[in-house]
Structure 1
Amino acid sequence: MKQFVFIVLLALLTFSCKKNEVDMAITPYELKIPSHFPAMPIPEDNPMSVEGVELGRRLFYDTRLSLDNSISCASCHNQANGFSDPQTFSTGVNGEIGKRQSMALVNLGWQSAYFWDGRVETLEEQVLHPVSDPLEMNQSWDATAQKLNSVEEYQNEFYRVFEVVDFDSTHIAKAISQFLRTLISSQSKYDVMYKYQNGLSLNAFEQNLYSQITNEEWAGMDLFFSLTNGDCLHCHNGPLMEIQGLFSNNGLDNTFPDIGRMAVTGNSSDLGKFKVPSLRNIEFTAPYMHDGRFSNLDEVINHYSFGIVESPTIDPLIEFAHQGGVQLDAQEHGLIKSFLKTFTDENFLNNPDFKDPGAY
């Protein structure tokens, strides 16, 4: 009888161990790269997993990352606004106000510089800044890790994803970065127009979207990429609609209270230069520019038409700076605006996989 009981207990223990091993297994994340996009570089030290992405999503919406548990990453990066902030400057803990407009989070896995001044080169490093920034979350990473380590569910998930008992800022940043790499926008009218013009096949969804593209949108595209009309192609081009690592003085001012890229490089030739952002979902990411000075697309178009201000570091690719801009007439203005709205990706703005999963 004793031998029988021992065998039964041993069998139960073995089954339990195997069950735990199955429960702790992680599933590689199959990132769906759009057919017209380049491959996304994934850091070797942060391979993506289904569990890691879900952990990162939960952290993205967790207010415990802030000093007074009042704001999360999502507080300044709202999905309905293309993961940007509709406020000119975001409000941090204790009512502190930021100094630059919150950039939209989209197609981040292809970028090589982050923030308006490009002060970091990796997504993992970018995630580290807002938590400790006194104008944003204003919380030390030690305090942040201590808070999250006190949550049993987080202890389990971090152990499952990273095999660590006491996780720290590095692991938290890696998890959030995994989630951020899934924020891919590629199902707009522009994507269909781009694929059509480059002879790439369209799937059923894209064929339906193609049938909805208007003559005004096609005409606006022609103007946008024209060297003598819109002249926008130097900074916004290709499937990602941004030139990687490009910083530009786009003629906003001739004096610079915010010196931009120069604060990072120390090079006076970078005075007043800021990262050129993606135009993805631009219809929903107002206000515009690093200081949020333009509240709508009409003001942006007017700037490039008539409002360019020359200065020593003005981008030489702005070929019509000497006359204040490209001088679009009312009809051309309307066509360009129609084209800019083709960057709207409704699936991205409403994707349930990007929404708040609820707190632990």
Structure 2
Amino acid sequence: MSALTAPGAHAGTGVAPPPWTWDLPPGVPAPLVPADNPMTSDKVELGRRLFHDTALSITGTVSCATCHRQDLAFTDGLPQAVGATGQSHPRGSMSLVNVAYASVLTWGNPLMTNLEAQLLVPMFGDHPVEMGMAGHEGAILARLRTDKTYTLLFAAAFPGPDPVTLHHLAQAIAAFERSIVSFRSPYDRYRYGHDASAISDAAKRGEALFFGERLECHHCHGGLTFADDERTATTALAEVQFHNTGLYNLGGSGAYPVGNTGVHEITDKAEDMGAFKAPTLRNIALTAPYMHDGSIHTLSEVLDHYAAGGRTLKDGPHAGVGADNPHKDPLIQGFTLTEPEKADIIAFLESLTDQALLTDPRFKDPFSK
């Protein structure tokens, strides 16, 4: 990846910033980048600072990085995200790793496909309150325009008469998020680097099970990102898919908990009840708890859920047999898995962890000492 240039290096020079260089293994295509927000080192550096800036929240205590921590593969370790005012989100924070390759950006909204637009939701949305800055747009701009570091960074990233705008703020954060690519796991060294010793024999057996037809895992978690909504610079058309995995079946009706029904909340179609995005499995060992609402705690329990063809909750307000959910994806049929096979699959999933990502200085908090 290109080195970050000094703040202000291109400001006022009339020289276009150098193009961005992706840090990718041979054979891995670059992600698709919007034509109106090209990647530059100056823009990414500005975005990194904004991403980690707690002053962009109503309480001054929360930043984008609060819910997307580098040491947790840009998740937060919570079942559901918690906003600046203490209000809980109904869903967990998705990993931002390789988000540049995602054709859809949230757990259950097929209309949210643009990073620049999506990041405005946590900043200014109020259902729920996340960063809580609705109505404070003027104060944000006033602060940024009087901060010497920010004025230099904005001028370098957006040369022109009015560099400090909310539009440019969104573009910079989106550029930083796109820069968070991860292809340095042991599995990548094994698959792309042709290093047969990079993963264990157990992980190799787990890979065979994962990509086999008995378990069907790869149908929803395949490709470069181990998801099914991949988009690259060479992809003509990205297919957007969502899945009901039988996590709930309230009272045998097929319903999911109110306020957390997935794509159904957008379309109001019965067949979309409980349909959620299949998240990336890269770094999955670091991103517990699992599922959209964090209701499954370990990878072992996730495998139990899919082996059963859906989760059974015997009592309580969410009681029901998920395997019988009438809206469940037909791929979720269940399977038999021995304990050694389960251990092999978990070894394979653990081989998808990119340890270098967790301390990479290109993504770290610039405010930390």
What TM-score do the two structures reach when normalised by structure 2?
0.83
What's the secondary structure of 1:354's corresponding residue? coil
2:352 to 333, 336, 343: 343
Q: Distance in 2 between matches of 1:225 and 1:20?
A: 50
Specify which of 300, 303, 306 is matched with residue 302 of structure 2. Answer: 300
Alignment match, 1:315: 329
The superposition leaves residues 72-120 of structure 1 with CA deviations (integer Å, 9 ceiling, x where unpaired) of 0001111111000111122212222211100011111111111111341
Instruction: Determine the C-alpha separation between the residues in 1 that align with 2:274 and 2:139.
Output: 36
Give the unaligned 5+ runs of structure 1: 1-18, 196-201
Q: Does 1:256 align with 2:241?
A: no
Aligned partner of 1:28 in structure 2 is 19
Identity across aligned pairs (percent)?
38
Paired residue type of 1:72:
S
Deviation (angstroms), 1:330: 1.1
Q: Which residue of 2 aligns with 1:93?
A: 84
Structure 2 residue aligned with 1:222: 208
How far did residue 242 of structure 1 move?
A: 1.0
Corresponding residue SS for 2:351: helix
- The amino acid of 1:136's aligned partner reads E
Match of 1:232 among 214, 217, 223: 217
Structure with bigger gyration radius: 1
Please tell me the residue identity of whatever aligns with 2:364.
K
1:97-136 aligned within 5 A: 97-118=88-109, 119-134=111-126, 135-136=129-130
Equivalent in 60, 70, 73 of residue 64 of structure 2: 73
Q: Which range is displaced more, 90-99 or 283-292?
A: 90-99
Residues 262, 353 of structure 1: alpha-carbon distance in 2 compared, 3 angstrom cutoff: same
> In the alignment, which residue of structure 2 is the partner of 1:326?
335
Which residue identity does 1:180 align to in structure 2?
E
Task: Report the alpha carbon displacement of residue 331 of structure 1 after superposing the two structures with TM.
Answer: 1.4
- Ranges in structure 2 where 5+ consecutive residues have no aligned partner: 1-9, 230-239, 250-254, 311-321
Q: CA deviation at 1:269?
A: 1.6
Residue 317 of structure 2 is matched in structure 1 by none
How many Å apart are 1:160 and its aligned residue? 2.3
d(CA) in 1 for partners of 2:140, 2:80? 24
CA deviations on 1:129-154 (whole Å, 9 max, x unpaired) are 11012321011234433332232321
Alignment deviations for residues 204-258 of structure 1 (CA, whole Å, 9 cap, x no partner): xx63xx4232111111111111112x22011011222111122100110112112
Q: Secondary structure at the match of 1:343?
A: coil
What SS does the aligned partner of 1:93 have?
coil
Partner residue of 1:139?
133
Q: Is the 8 A contact 2:54 2:61 kept in 1?
A: yes
Residue in 2 that maps onto 1:172: 169
Structure with the larger helix share: 1
Shift of 1:23: 9.7
CA contact (8 A) 2:190 2:198 kept: no
8 Å Cα contact 1:225/1:232 also seen in 2: yes
Q: 1:212 and 1:110, CA in 2 relative to 1: closer, same or farther beyond 3 A?
A: closer
Is residue 270 from structure 1 mapped to residue 267 from structure 2 by the alignment?
A: no
Q: What secondary structure does 1:115 align onto? A: coil
Provide the rounded CA distance (Å) in 2 between the counterparts of 1:75 and 1:224: 32
RMSD over aligned CA atoms reads 2.1
Q: CA shift at 1:168, angstroms?
A: 2.3
For residues 97 and 246 of structure 1, the distance between their equivalents in structure 2, rounded to whole angstroms, comes to 26
- 2:161 & 2:107 partners in 1: Cα distance? 34
TM-score, with structure 1 as normaliser: 0.85
Measured at CA, do residues 212 and 161 of structure 1 come closer, stay the same or move farther in structure 2, by a change above 3 Å? closer
1:252 maps to amino acid: L
Query: Partner letter of residue 75 of structure 2?
Result: S
**Paired residues of 2:107 and 2:277 also in contact (CA < 8 A):** yes
Q: Quick check: 1:284 aligned with 2:286?
A: yes
1:330-354 CA deviation, whole Å, 9 max, x = no partner?
1111111111101101111221111
Shift of 1:24: 7.9
Pair 1:182 & 2:171 matched: no
What is the rounded CA distance, in whole Å, between the counterparts of 1:355 and 1:55 in structure 2? 13
1:172–1:270 Cα change, 3 Å: same
Q: Deviations over 1:153-209 (max 9, x none)?
A: 2123212221243622211110011111110010112223433xxxxxx3xxx63xx
Query: Which residue number corresponds to residue 228 of structure 2?
Result: 243
Greater alpha carbon shift after TM alignment, 338-347 vs 298-307: 298-307
| Cα distance in structure 1, aligned partners of 2:221 and 2:16 | 42
Q: Which moved more, 1:145-154 or 1:346-355?
A: 145-154
